[in-house]
């Protein structure tokens, strides 16, 4: 995957963070916050005003973390307020790139060739991973945040007409669900997929399916994870579920059961895809191409499988095709 050290890009393997056998995700490096008037964030983070037209999102359609921000942007109706650029789905020795031959958009703001160049522009001595999403401030020409969990909350500051995805009455319950889902499901698939020892793999895959069993039980009697409406907990789970049978089941060896084998989870997935705003953010072509063609230490030949035949693929923007 590579990383930056003192402002310079250094190529690396996708399993380089698994040298002990267990995959460890690095914290985000930019954590400013958007508020209606530019006041500090909820934990005292430096604040910036939520001004339409000032900010720009850099995303990958393949990345589940970036996908969260696209869904919330759509639900809040912020397509005109916040522009979007999409990286190429294949990520090799140069990390995320702005190639356009496989559905990327290029970089209209700076004409950058690689995402790491924007990190260097924002912080010339930056050291760390180069990840999406990136929320960019066009006025100050720097990164506001690259932490998806925080970006999806701060988008509400624009005062759109979207749903309250983090209602005060349910925040404690949402935080509890998020904590387990993040550790064992969202990040759990990566811990299983990037493990380099049998023990590390099993230490990740067993809690993953324990949590999927738990979620199946929760959703057997309810449409949503918390309360009676969709919240951010649902969005955070959805972006992993929608990739699971197409990628994580095979590519990451998370093959105890498919989401299709869980009646309540499958119905929940299709319930969310029934919202055309959400379905339009799902690009299975980018998703499959990214994982299978980018992770060459896991899939050396970069061959992208034709299947599986997903019953809901026709609802999505990218269908079930691949781009290689």
Sequence spans of domains, the chain: 3-158, 168-275
Element at 135 (helix H, strand E): strand 134-137
SS3 label, residue 92: strand
User: Which DSSP letter does residue 128 get?
Assistant: B
Query: CB-hemisphere CA count at 13 Å for 170?
Result: 18
Catalytic pick among 55, 61, 63, 248:
63
Q: What is the pLDDT of residue 13?
A: 80
Q: What is the pLDDT of residue 160?
A: 74
Catalytic pick among 190, 248, 249, 292:
190
Active site residue 63: yes
Answer for the pair 224, 231: CB distance below 8 angstroms, yes or no. Answer: yes
Distances (CA, A) of 108 to 155, 233, 234: 22, 32, 32
Q: What is the pLDDT of residue 161?
A: 81
Q: Would you say the CATH fold of 168-275 matches that of 3-158?
A: no
Active site residue 254: no
Q: What is the pLDDT of residue 22?
A: 73
Q: Which CATH class is domain 168-275?
A: mainly alpha
| Strand residues in 141-188 grouped as ranges (E) | 142-145
- Each residue's pLDDT, cut to its tens digit, for the chain (324 residues) gives 789 999 999 998 877 665 676 766 566 689 999 999 999 999 999 999 999 999 999 999 999 999 999 999 999 999 999 999 999 999 999 999 999 999 999 999 999 999 999 999 999 999 999 999 999 999 999 999 999 999 999 999 998 788 999 999 999 999 999 999 999 999 999 999 999 999 999 999 999 999 999 999 999 999 999 999 999 999 999 999 999 999 999 999 999 999 999 999 999 999 999 999 999 999 999 999 999 999 999 999 999 999 999 999 999 986 555 555
Element at 115 (helix H, strand E): helix 115-122
Q: What is the pLDDT of residue 318?
A: 66
- CB atoms inside a 10 Å sphere around CB 274: 11
| Strand residues in the chain grouped as ranges (E) | 3-5, 8-10, 33-35, 47-49, 55-59, 82-86, 134-137, 142-145
CATH architecture, range 3-158 = 3-Layer(aba) Sandwich (3.40)
Beta bridge partners of 32: none
- In angstroms, the CA 205 to CA 213 distance is 12
- In angstroms, the CA 170 to CA 273 distance is 24
């Amino acid at each position: 995957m590579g990383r930056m050290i003192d402002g310079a890009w250094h190529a690396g393997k996708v399993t380089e963070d698994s040298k002990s056998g267990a995959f460890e995700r690095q914290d985000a490096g930019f954590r400013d916050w958007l508020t209606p008037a530019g006041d500090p964030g909820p934990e005292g983070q430096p604040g910036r005003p939520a001004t339409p037209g000032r900010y720009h999102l850099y995303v990958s359609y393949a990345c589940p973390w970036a996908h969260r921000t696209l869904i919330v942007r759509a639900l809040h109706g912020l397509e005109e307020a916040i522009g979007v650029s999409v990286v190429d789905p294949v990520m090799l020795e140069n990390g995320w790139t702005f190639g356009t031959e496989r559905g990327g958009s290029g970089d209209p703001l700076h004409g950058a060739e690689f995402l790491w160049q924007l990190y260097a522009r924002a912080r010339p001595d930056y050291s760390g991973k180069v990840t999406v999403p990136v929320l960019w401030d066009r006025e100050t020409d720097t990164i506001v945040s690259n932490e998806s969990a925080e970006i999806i909350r701060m988008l509400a500051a624009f005062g759109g007409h979207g749903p309250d995805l983090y209602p005060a009455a349910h925040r404690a319950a949402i935080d509890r669900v998020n904590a387990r889902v993040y550790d064992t499901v969202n990040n759990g698939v990566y811990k299983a997929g990037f493990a380099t020892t049998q023990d590390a793999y099993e230490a990740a895959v067993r809690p993953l399916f324990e949590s999927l069993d738990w979620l199946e039980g929760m959703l057997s009697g309810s449409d949503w994870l918390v309360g009676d409406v969709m919240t951010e907990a649902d969005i955070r789970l959805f972006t992993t579920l929608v990739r699971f049978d197409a990628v994580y089941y095979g590519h990451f060896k998370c093959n105890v059961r498919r989401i299709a084998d869980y009646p309540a989870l499958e119905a929940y997935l299709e319930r969310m895809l029934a919202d055309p705003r959400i379905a339009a953010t799902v690009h299975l072509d980018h998703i499959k191409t990214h994982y299978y063609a980018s992770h060459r230490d896991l899939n050396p030949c970069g061959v992208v499988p034709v299947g599986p035949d997903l019953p809901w693929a026709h609802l999505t923007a990218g269908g079930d095709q691949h781009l290689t």
